[in-house]
Structure 1
Amino acid sequence: MTNPNILPDDTSLRIPPMGFDDENELNGQTAYNRTIVEGSARCGCFHCGGIFAGNEVSQWLQEDDGEDDTALCPYCGVDAVIVGNERYPVCMMVLSGLYMHWFDQEYKQRLEEATDMPTCGDYEDYLRKGIPFLTNHDRKIAVVGEIELFPLSVYGRAEELCNDGHPPQPVEYDDRDIYMGGVVTVHAGFDEHRYYYCDFITGDGIKLPYDAWSGTQQGLVLNLSRQYSDALRGIITDASMHHMRLFIDAAAEE
């Protein structure tokens, strides 16, 4: 099996939010689907994110009940092939959303083990670029700490959101708070007025609107920043945007 080339959707593409019935309907296309797949010019697999023509499918699962055969993805071999519909065409946003729903345990495991992922912006951008399929653990790193994140826009709701300080309660994020992926550079210290700061900077130079959750965790980031300077990195490792793994590249530790 080979890995598909994950191509982002055009930014002009818009699809409505998928509800439970929509996810079920699309998932229903994955069984007994030889006729519709062979007749489709554009199919997709929501297990690996591959997009391909129906005539590229060469392996079929023969169903014991005698109904139509079931397509196996030409990239990953999984029976998660769909042809889409008028509301939800085969595109990266649809495949990403279905993967996160129907393969949620695998998706969560990939996030937990991730050491690298492409940079993206809001949730729609996360789906459009196929980030759920692009998280990987190929980067050689040395984990030096883990922290919980606190969105700066909700400082006024601190008492409401805290539960004995840890872990944080679920937060309703504003659009400007959502940042779904990518490795960031981490800096912490004191400015010229002796105020503490903790910056998470993307590869594009954007400062993320987060802070470490508690004073103890702020102290951890400060000490690690002093120890590793510009080599300190972070990666968000959960879909709810609460948890960050702090690391350095393995070569920097040597």
Structure 2
Amino acid sequence: MVDNKAQDQLSKLLTALEEKSMKIEEFVSDIELRFNSVEENCKKYADLLEKQNEEMLKKVVAQYDEKSENFEEVKKMKMEYLYEQMVNFQQTVDSAKETLETTVKETDEVDGFVFLNTVQDKAINTPYNTWLTPTVIPQEPNSATSTSIAVYWAVNDGDTIDCFQVYCMEELQASKDAGALVEEYRVTVKESHCILEDLEPDRCYSVWVMAVNGTGCSLPSEKAIFKTVGPVALKQNL
């Protein structure tokens, strides 16, 4: 009886093992099929990518060849254009050289005194508009700050004036070097007054004015001295 039971149990175990073995074989077969499918798909994708790369490479090479041809054509056109410009420039230089030689030759034949007299006549016939010369009004009280001065001037009522040029120059002080550079600056205004700004405190400035119209500039007015306010005077006014 014992042997029969053992045989039955052994038979059951063998049957179970066979079933598990079959399931494992089926599982392995399924994995193998899946692996083969993946490998086949990878190969297809690899072939497709290689084909696409080849096509892309062909397109790039074709575009490069086309651009190279276009570049050569453009380069050729530019070189031809530059050559034409060089030829034209050389012709212009030759023509200018001939003109200059002719002018020099003609100038040598002209009487020097005649040329000098012509220049003098032009200088004499272009006088200043002396009747437009403005008159600078002396500095008025409380018309200056530490960095600015107000300047007024007068002109004749009948004068036609387009604008005025106002000049300002700092007067050198005794404490300064006699050889120091003095800066002069100019402003252009249409009214008969202006405010000169960005000056130094407690300094004296020479100011003069010139009138301008369509015929030229007037003679400069007589210089007038203007003074900016010093720190002490400024505190007293405050």
Under a length normalisation based on structure 1, what TM-score does the superposition of the two structures give? 0.17
Q: TM-score, normalised by structure 2?
A: 0.17
Task: Determine which structure has the larger helix proportion and give its number.
Answer: 2
